[in-house]
Structure 1
Amino acid sequence: MPSWYDSLIDEARLTALTLLDRAEELTNPTLRLGITGLSRSGKTVFTTALIHALTRGGRFPVFRAMHEGRIAGARLEPQPDDAVPRFDYEGHLATLVDERRWPESTSRISELRLAIDYAPARGGKSVLTLDIVDYPGEWLLDLPLLERSYADFAAESLRLARAPARRALAAPFLDAMNHVEPEAPADEGAARRLASLFTDYLAACRAEQVSMSLLPPGRFLMPGDLAGSPALTFAPIDLYDGNAAPPNSLAAMMERRYEAYKDRVVRPFFRDHFARLDRQIVLIDLLTALNAGPAALADLEAALDGILAAFRTGRNSWLSALFRHRIGRVLFAATKADHLHHGSHDRLEAILRRLVERALARAEGAGAEIDVVALSAVRATREADVKRGRASLPAIIGVPEAGQYGADQFDGLAEAAVFPGDLPESPAELFDPKLGFKGLSEADGGDFRFLRFRPPLVERNAAGLPLPIPHIRLDRAMEFLIGDRLK
């Protein structure tokens, strides 16, 4: 069927879902919060810490409703969508607190519903239902594919693969792709080989030492129950300009499967989940990108620009709110701020703001509220001044994960004092007007390597329940994302 017909059906379904949501909100005020992040950004940790903070309380001076004592409590409610897995809050919390391990990254969408009992500032009692929608950030990068043909996708993917920063990683795929003829008869074996090599290339780009972010299609790296399906068995190939793919050719097979990927994977995610969000936080492992160098920073900037372009940002008018959800607030968060001394937190935030400034201008022009923050939803370190000779140096102290920089250096049991270094005072020091990104090593004359630390030791109360978990600026994120709905 023509793409305009698919779009019309999607719009009709989306309108129906929005009307159902609005009808429920008449008797049950509800806010749908999307939580996402690219690889290694700490999405599962943030979601777990947010739920724990709302249900257990703690010191959150910036989160006004809790600081003022107007939140009476928050309780877990039954899963709102029977077709979506529940976020395993209890299991992830046990991993953090009992085992002092970071939870495994999730590769699928999940939800959890909280009911927050609070007293509005004007008096009385009220309840806000918070639906948390947790999903991989890589899925966001698929949304622009809805507006792109297979030829567009192939051209952009091959341009990226041939770029200097990726060329070596993509060499096996590019070599195989260069030996295929788009007009050759469709060949399942050739399609599988190319798809496998393309997936290997994407996985190599995501490795920590490379840390690329712009890696669609997102399900290639987290296929789930689609593994091996035709919808995930395609790859970009060079096409002849201006010529339609002959029927039953390899190019026609790739194009058909690309369209199937959009229809069966991307469109349902957009329609059933993403397009129904009210607020969004995007978590970013900026420190790993800084470690990886200029190419990773440039790639991250492009990914963040694409992510924000995918949002239907902007304030809701009464009419648009009735027929469409529109994400009114988006928070970009640089995670793992506890890996730095607090003197560099503002600098980390400034670097993130510089990375998203083009996207910020576009979203703010549409009426959306945007903010950036450097945070740690779970603080794994503490700060101290450590003597080195006559000098006193600011350090962070924590338990580094085992096996870093040599298997014998850290055993994962003993604390270590680490001098993390300082980020540049101005983000401009990382950018050259002519050359683009310079990276930390070039900007500061040193090679920054940020260690990974184990979760902190969390005490329990007399009833055996975990006490509040230490954090950095989790309260600021909570105030921005939901604070206005608790006034």
Structure 2
Amino acid sequence: MRKLIDAILTPAKQARTLGANQWQRWFLQSEHRFTITGLSRSGKSMLFTSLMTVLKYRSEEQYQCLPLLRYLPMELVDQMWLEPLNDLPMFPVEQHIEDLAAGQWPPATESVAGFKLIVRLRQAHQLKRYLLPYTDVVFEFIDYPGEWLSDLPMLGKTYTQWSDSAWAQQMNAPQQRYAKSWHDCVNAFDFEQPPTPGNVQQLVNAYRRYLQEAKSKGISMLQPGSFLIPGSGFDFTQQGFTPLPSRISSDVASPWTQCFTQHFEAFKHQWLEKLKKDTFRQTDKQIILVDLFEGLNHSRSHLYQLRETLSHLADTFVYGNENWFKRHVLQQQGIAKVAFVATKADLVPVGQRDALLSLLKDVTRGATARFKDGEVQFEHFLVSAIQATDEGSHDNALRYMNDEGRYMEAEFEALPPDLKSMPEDEHYPVLPAAVPPDYLARMLNGKGLDRLLQFLLEK
């Protein structure tokens, strides 16, 4: 019997010797490429930090976290390690842990980072152990500023198309509230003067001030968001542009339209195309983080704009479950699984989370409508990367520590289950929870990550 097994397995062993890398890639590795997509303030940095920490403690310390994650059974985990992802800088998880220890939430992402997380599983079946002693489950993650994400839809537009749409958005709520100074600047500007570098910079600086003000007030659809952070590498001081009223942008002979068209095309080709190719590369699973609290804290119109933003973003990615030949031989693939995740779910009482999940489904309905014919599996999840609150004295209350270190209790009104149920001028304050002293234990007891990973990893 042993000779028979050896006769069957010898060719396979020889193939493994001749092409070890290819063998490992085909049979010893289970690869999962994730794009974690999230607009600014959606909680990407905290989610990455928590995910890396939880998986480390689960595999190395045998900590009983992620109880519903059946795909990576604790008893079969041999080891886990991190590796760089191509030429990307490593995600700064150690610095983020130091920030939490100092009582500070991790800072917003301002540059791209990535890593590979490899979990080595021992084979449970005797025959499999003889041929394949282990399986490496490889996760690839990329973190990037949310401002870059909102710029991707610009790739499909001309300057005039983008300018007209951006200007139209600024004339409606909620941007209209914050665009007055910018519009006053444009109305007073003399477009008969030539677009010299100084004149261009005057307009660009005024537009950036509007973008910064609107961002601070919770506006999600701001373009170009890359102008707000230094990490893009695009020199907006030399090749900046702004949207213009249609009386200018529609005049193809206008020196301003010609100048801004040239700068707009440079922005797309020198920055956005490279960004999409390098940062949003091959991926088969996507996590879309959604911060509902930013909209709830401001107004219903903010949430309507968030729905519009997510709908536009769904058009920038390739979706669809390709066949094996295309995925493994031609290296062509679309995103086959999408998880819509409402972050910071610990900021509402348990009794309000059904409403929060319903609101998430309503806000993302424009994006999910693009997943036709069942080619893409998608689900909605509530996730707490860190359990920063405790149960209150009744079902609609939570306890938390404020910035002054005082343990507080807050009561909650009922959350709207959809946009139409939210009064136009009403808003729901966001709980100002500080970093708890026992942040590590609260990360390990975060909620929802096990269900999220199980959905993404299961066949």
The interval holding the TM-score normalised by the smaller chain is: 0.7 to 0.9
Equivalent residues of 1:226, 1:232 under 8 A apart: no
Q: Per the alignment, do residues 230 and 468 of structure 1 end up closer, same or farther by CA in structure 2, a change over 3 Å counting? A: closer
Equivalent position to 1:317, from 309, 314, 323: 323
Equivalent residues of 1:239, 1:251 under 8 A apart: no
Equivalent position to 1:256, from 248, 253, 262: 262
Q: Per the alignment, do residues 342 and 72 of structure 1 end up closer, same or farther by CA in structure 2, a change over 3 Å counting? A: farther
Aligned to 1:344: 352
Q: Which stretch of structure 1 is more off in the superposition, 311-320 or 375-384? A: 311-320
Structure having the higher Rg: 2
Aligned to 1:198: 207
Amino acid at match of 1:469: L
Does residue 1:431 correspond to 2:420, yes or no?
yes
Report the Cα offset of residue 218 of structure 1: 1.9
Equivalence map 1:206-285=2 (5 Å): 206-207=215-216, 210-224=217-231, 226=233, 228-230=235-237, 233-240=240-247, 243-246=251-254, 249-285=255-291
Instruction: Tell me how many residue pairs correspond in the alignment.
Output: 424
| CA offset digits 1:52-83 (Å, max 9, x no partner) | 11111132122112456443442112x1222x
Q: Secondary structure at 2:281's aligned position in 1?
A: helix
Amino acid at match of 2:432: R
Aligned to 1:13: none
Q: Which stretch of structure 1 is more off in the superposition, 375-384 or 230-239? A: 230-239
Does residue 1:89 correspond to 2:93, yes or no?
yes
Equivalent residues of 1:290, 1:439 under 8 A apart: no
Q: Secondary structure at 2:369's aligned position in 1?
A: helix
Q: Per the alignment, do residues 66 and 381 of structure 1 end up closer, same or farther by CA in structure 2, a change over 3 Å counting? A: farther
Aligned to 2:334: 326
Q: Per the alignment, do residues 439 and 457 of structure 1 end up closer, same or farther by CA in structure 2, a change over 3 Å counting? A: farther
Equivalent residues of 1:173, 1:198 under 8 A apart: yes
| CA offset digits 1:349-378 (Å, max 9, x no partner) | 110101111221212436111111111111
Q: Which stretch of structure 1 is more off in the superposition, 318-327 or 220-229? A: 220-229
Equivalent residues of 1:161, 1:170 under 8 A apart: yes
Equivalent position to 1:476, from 445, 451, 454: 451
Does residue 1:45 correspond to 2:46, yes or no?
yes
Q: Per the alignment, do residues 47 and 483 of structure 1 end up closer, same or farther by CA in structure 2, a change over 3 Å counting? A: farther
Equivalent position to 1:144, from 132, 153, 157: 153
Equivalent residues of 1:65, 1:71 under 8 A apart: no
Q: Per the alignment, do residues 331 and 169 of structure 1 end up closer, same or farther by CA in structure 2, a change over 3 Å counting? A: same
Aligned to 1:10: none
Equivalence map 1:120-131=2 (5 Å): 124=129, 125-131=134-140
| Aligned counterparts of 1:273 and 1:24: Cα–Cα separation in 2 | 25
Report the Cα offset of residue 469 of structure 1: 2.1
| Aligned counterparts of 1:149 and 1:31: Cα–Cα separation in 2 | 35
Q: Secondary structure at 1:373's aligned position in 2?
A: strand
Aligned to 1:134: 143
Aligned to 1:9: none
Amino acid at match of 2:40: S
| CA offset digits 1:173-218 (Å, max 9, x no partner) | 21222344656522212211111111111221112xx311111212
Structure 1's unaligned 5+ residue stretches are 1-20, 387-391, 403-410, 442-446, 461-465
Q: Per the alignment, do residues 341 and 67 of structure 1 end up closer, same or farther by CA in structure 2, a change over 3 Å counting? A: farther
TM-score, normalized by length of structure 2?
A: 0.85
Report the Cα offset of residue 479 of structure 1: 1.4
Equivalent residues of 2:290, 2:340 under 8 A apart: yes
Amino acid at match of 1:81: N
Aligned to 1:107: 110
Q: Secondary structure at 2:37's aligned position in 1?
A: strand
Equivalent position to 1:457, from 418, 437, 441: 437
Equivalent residues of 1:313, 1:366 under 8 A apart: no
Equivalent residues of 2:350, 2:395 under 8 A apart: no
Equivalent position to 1:290, from 272, 293, 296: 296
| Aligned counterparts of 2:178 and 2:22: Cα–Cα separation in 1 | 48
| Aligned counterparts of 2:424 and 2:123: Cα–Cα separation in 1 | 47
Between the two proteins, what is the percent identity of the paired residues? 26
Q: Per the alignment, do residues 92 and 397 of structure 1 end up closer, same or farther by CA in structure 2, a change over 3 Å counting? A: same
Structure 2's unaligned 5+ residue stretches are 1-20, 59-63
Q: Secondary structure at 2:435's aligned position in 1?
A: coil
Q: Per the alignment, do residues 22 and 141 of structure 1 end up closer, same or farther by CA in structure 2, a change over 3 Å counting? A: farther
| Aligned counterparts of 1:381 and 1:314: Cα–Cα separation in 2 | 38
Equivalent residues of 1:375, 1:472 under 8 A apart: yes
CA RMSD of aligned residues (A): 2.7
Equivalent position to 1:62, from 45, 61, 68: 68
Q: Secondary structure at 1:131's aligned position in 2?
A: strand
| Aligned counterparts of 2:76 and 2:239: Cα–Cα separation in 1 | 49
TM-score, normalized by length of structure 1?
A: 0.80
Q: Secondary structure at 2:355's aligned position in 1?
A: helix
Aligned to 1:419: 411
Does residue 1:80 correspond to 2:85, yes or no?
yes
Q: Secondary structure at 1:310's aligned position in 2?
A: coil
Q: Secondary structure at 2:430's aligned position in 1?
A: coil
| Aligned counterparts of 2:123 and 2:147: Cα–Cα separation in 1 | 37
Equivalence map 1:298-313=2 (5 Å): 298-313=304-319
Aligned to 2:381: 373
Q: Per the alignment, do residues 93 and 459 of structure 1 end up closer, same or farther by CA in structure 2, a change over 3 Å counting? A: closer
| CA offset digits 1:305-360 (Å, max 9, x no partner) | 11222121111212432232311112111111111111111211110101111221
| Aligned counterparts of 1:291 and 1:196: Cα–Cα separation in 2 | 28
